[in-house]
């Protein structure tokens, strides 16, 4: 065996076994491709070899092309040529798919003459997540192997085919339950006497008809939310069906290379790596997190219920505490509603929802939290109330229980003032709805122990969230930038720009809502009350346009009007004569602004605030800020985040 290579070659009688061994995910980087070419040449020339088993080392088959190479020009040998050589080989290649086969990995398996699957095998083409389309024949071979209807969801909608699906669709020949490689060798030996099957690219494909394409296009366009890749993947598939595989392949390759060089793909790649590194902050390398099994949540309002649902979904036991029976009952009802909504959206079965709900114990008061490993406080944003909760928790809980506050604005140092063992105190700032939103800001306090901080990151991982460490400042990273964004947007409105034009420009940029629609949805009164509280403390806070609206009773959708008017029971923003009248004095003459100019100003404001946050060491890097914006505030993923965007677009 040649063992120092990333493609290992072994012989067993007439069968050669090629194992791709390129940790961590067996990606098809340059060295692997070079070695595969060599392996193909050697095996084609060797008359004693009758069949080839191709597999992956470890638990994966192949995780795809090496994404780190996508910032460079494509290097020879390229994957499509390599796969063609396998497909045209004069002896059969058996892809022994022992686990995930993603992107180029799945394409590699499709080019082999046969696929043998282990129980954990899965085929997927997740290229669209990276702003590209499959670039090595995936859009052409898969529809010819399993039919267009079965191929489309994989190519353009992120669906995967598991082992049993692969058998049902005829994508895989056989399921191997035990002794995977040995069984694959035996099958290859036995099947090598058969004539070579028709290569995937030469198989017939049936056009499912215009209605299918129209329906798929509408569905994919809607789900893509402005991203280019999903529709481009559909187009490549359709073109190959209409005009045949050779034209389809050429179009696929050209589109892949064009998209690979796009800003959108660069943004998505950047986020791919940022999201992964976020789970492993270098400062915590080697620090072992504490073990968390049972958790407690104090406060069963919207946040407390959302946090409880997130914890239950991740398999934790939760003790949910409220101050009285009626509030607890309301909270538990809200929790049930979350689980029935999840079941409706097919996130789990109704029974599974009930099993998860059975892990919550509702209690009145704090006494029952004594055995929790972690308690998260999510009571009303009131300093004295929070201090009181932690004062009591300190007496009730074990001395090693981690105590966390979910405050979004109050300085956690003041909240935790009375806690004797500061090392166990931390901020865990969830975003609403907490069972849905991916962002978790982890607030490290001066006294927080490293293993407690590491536990915060471990918790985020288990909850499927994206953790970002934030230092202490008003609003932490996200709400501080949001404030700057809103101030800048209001500044434009004061200077004559129509707020509806600002909303439209930000929607066009990729946000689901513009800043004023968003305020109407969330309610203008929350930030108004914050400003009023600060004014009451003697801080100099100038009157905002939002203040004028709230003082006139316009608090947003919930009062039938804020920036916009709303018809009863409808969320569609309508122009408001009253708003125009109320704000007339505070604004200059109307001024037109190009959408591009509006976007540039608002993103610049966010990025400028981001730079200050970095200078103050509140965040650990520009990626942290971008992750906060993308996962907590709806910044369009395809634009990477304000720091990435302003860096790419700096002239």
Both tokens assigned to 541: 């806070």
* Spatial distance between the Cα atoms of 113 and 141, rounded to a whole number of angstroms: 12
Single out the residue of 56, 99, 104, 546 in contact with ligand 3H9 (rule: CB under 6 A): 104
282 near ligand 3H9 (CB under 6 A):
no
Q: How far is the CB of 93 from ligand 3H9 (least distance, A)?
A: 18
Residue 273 near ligand 3H9 by CB under 6 A = yes
Cis peptide before 485 (omega within 30 of 0): no
Our CB check for ligand 3H9 shows the closer of 225 and 276 to be: 276
Per CB under 6 A, does 127 bind ligand 3H9?
yes
Supply the minimum distance, in Å, between the C-beta of residue 267 and ligand 3H9. 15
Torsion, CA 423, CA 429, CA 433, CA 437, rounded to 10: -100
CA angle at 14 for the pair 13 and 16, rounded to the nearest 5°? 90
Q: Which is nearer to ligand 3H9, 272 or 647 (CB)?
A: 272
In order of 167, 277, 283, 402, 425, the CA distances from 452 in angstroms are: 46, 19, 13, 7, 8
The total number of residues shown for the chain amounts to 651
Instruction: Decide: is 151 part of the binding site for ligand 3H9 (CB under 6 A).
Output: no
79 binds ligand 3H9 (CB under 6 A): yes
From the CB of 571, what's the least distance to ligand 3H9, in Å?
Answer: 35
Reported as type and span, the H/E element at residue 599 is: helix 595-615
Residue 67 sits in the site that holds ligand 3H9 (CB under 6 A): yes
Distance CA 618, CA 451 (A): 20
3-state secondary structure 324-346: CHHHHHHHHHHHHHHHHHHHHCC
135 binding ligand 3H9? (CB under 6 A) = yes
Q: Is 453 in contact with 401 (CB distance < 8 Å)?
A: no
Binding span for ligand 3H9 by CB under 6 A among 60-68, 516-524, 551-559, 641-649: 60-68
281 binds ligand 3H9 (CB under 6 A): no
Q: Is position 623 an interface residue for ligand 3H9 (rule: CB under 6 A)?
A: no
Query: Per CB under 6 A, does 137 bind ligand 3H9?
Result: no
Query: Nearer Cβ to ligand 3H9, position 180 or 256?
Result: 256
Is 488 near ligand 3H9 (CB under 6 A)?
no
Q: List the strands of the sheet with 466-470, edge to edge.
A: 360-364, 317-322, 294-298, 374-377, 402-405, 425-430, 439-443, 466-470
Binding residue for ligand 3H9, selected from 9, 35, 52, 66, defined by CB under 6 A: 66
329 is catalytic: no
Q: How far apart are CA 469 and CA 280, in angstroms?
A: 11
Instruction: List the one residue from 9, 102, 117, 452 that touches ligand 3H9 (CB under 6 A).
Output: 102
Query: Which residue in the list 41, 75, 107, 370 is annotated as catalytic?
Result: 107
Task: Give min distance, CB of 75 to ligand 3H9, in A.
Answer: 11
The span from the CA of 1 to the CA of 4, in Å, is: 9
- The residues in 318-347 that bind ligand 3H9, with binding defined as CB under 6 A, are none
Both tokens of residue 244?
């045949």
Q: Any contact of residue 143 with ligand 3H9 (CB under 6 A)?
A: no
Instruction: Count the alpha carbons within 13 Å of 203 in the hemisphere toward its beta carbon.
Output: 20
Active site residue 370: no
Query: Quick check: 96 and 181 in contact, CB under 8 A?
Result: yes
Q: Which of 92, 99, 118, 126 forms a contact with ligand 3H9 (CB under 6 A)?
A: 126
Indicate which residues carry an active-site annotation: 107, 127
Residues that bind ligand 3H9 (CB under 6 A): 24-25, 27, 63-68, 79, 100, 102-104, 107, 126-127, 130, 134-136, 138, 273, 276-277
């Amino acid at each position: 065996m040649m063992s120092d290579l990333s493609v290992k070659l072994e012989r067993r009688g007439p069968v050669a076994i090629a194992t791709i061994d390129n940790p961590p995910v067996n990606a098809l980087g340059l060295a692997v491709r070079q070695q595969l070419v060599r392996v193909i040449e050697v095996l084609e020339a060797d008359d004693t070899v009758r069949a080839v088993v191709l597999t992956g080392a470890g638990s994966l088959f192949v995780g795809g092309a090496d994404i780190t190479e996508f910032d460079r020009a494509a290097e020879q040998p390229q994957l499509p040529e390599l796969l063609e050589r396998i497909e045209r080989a004069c002896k059969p290649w058996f892809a022994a798919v022992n686990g995930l086969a993603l992107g180029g990995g799945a394409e590699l398996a499709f080019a082999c003459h046969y696929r043998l699957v282990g129980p954990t095998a899965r085929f997927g083409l997740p290229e669209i997540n990276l702003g590209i389309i499959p670039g090595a024949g995936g859009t052409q071979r898969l529809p010819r192997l399993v039919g267009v209807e079965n191929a489309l969801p994989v190519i353009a909608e992120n669906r995967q085919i598991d082992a049993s699906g692969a058998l049902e669709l005829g994508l895989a020949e056989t399921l191997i339950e035990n002794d995977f490689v040995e069984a694959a060798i035996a099958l290859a030996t036995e099947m090598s006497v058969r004539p070579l099957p028709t290569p995937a690219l030469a198989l017939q494909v049936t056009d499912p008809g215009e209605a299918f394409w129209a329906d798929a296009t509408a569905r994919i366009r809607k789900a893509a939310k402005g991203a280019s890749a999903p529709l481009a993947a559909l187009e490549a598939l359709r073109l190959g069906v209409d005009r045949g595989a050779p034209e389809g392949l050429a179009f696929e390759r050209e589109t892949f290379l064009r998209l690979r060089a796009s800003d959108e793909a660069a943004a998505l790649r950047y986020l791919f790596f940022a999201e992964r590194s976020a789970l492993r902050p270098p400062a915590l390398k080697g620090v072992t997190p504490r073990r968390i099994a049972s958790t407690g949540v104090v406060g069963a309002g919207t946040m407390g219920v959302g946090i409880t649902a997130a914890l239950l979904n991740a398999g934790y036991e939760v003790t949910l505490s409220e101050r009285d029976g009626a509030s607890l009952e309301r909270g538990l009802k809200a929790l049930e509603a979350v689980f029935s909504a999840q079941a409706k959206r097919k996130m789990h079965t109704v029974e599974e929802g009930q099993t998860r709900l059975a892990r919550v114990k509702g209690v009145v008061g704090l006494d029952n939290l004594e055995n929790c490993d972690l308690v998260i406080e999510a009571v009303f944003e009131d300093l004295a109330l929070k201090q009181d909760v932690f004062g009591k928790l300190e007496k009730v809980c074990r001395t090693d229980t981690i105590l966390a506050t979910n405050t979004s604005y109050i300085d956690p140092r003041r909240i935790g003032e009375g806690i004797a063992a500061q090392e166990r105190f931390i901020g865990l700032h969830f975003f609403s709805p907490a069972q849905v939103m991916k962002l978790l800001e982890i607030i490290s306090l001066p006294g927080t122990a490293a293993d407690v901080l590491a536990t915060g990151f471990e918790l985020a991982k288990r909850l499927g969230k994206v953790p970002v460490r934030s230092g202490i400042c008003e609003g932490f990273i996200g709400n501080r930038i949001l404030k700057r964004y809103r101030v800048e947007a209001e500044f434009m409105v004061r200077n004559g720009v129509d707020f509806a034009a600002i909303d439209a420009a930000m929607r066009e940029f990729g946000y689901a809502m513009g800043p004023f629609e968003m305020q109407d949805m969330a309610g203008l009164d929350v930030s108004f009350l914050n400003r009023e509280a600060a004014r009451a403390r003697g801080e100099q806070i100038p009157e905002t346009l939002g203040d004028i609206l709230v003082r006139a009773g316009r608090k947003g959708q919930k009062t039938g009007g804020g920036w916009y008017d709303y018809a009863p029971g409808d969320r569609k923003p309508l122009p408001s004569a009253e708003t125009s009248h109320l704000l007339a004095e505070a604004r200059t003459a109307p001024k037109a602004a190009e959408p591009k100019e509006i976007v540039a100003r608002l993103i610049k404001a966010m990025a400028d605030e981001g730079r200050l946050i970095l200078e103050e060491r509140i965040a650990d890097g520009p990626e942290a800020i971008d992750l906060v914006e993308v996962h907590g505030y709806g910044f369009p993923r395809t634009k990477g985040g304000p720091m990435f965007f302003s860096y790419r677009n700096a002239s």
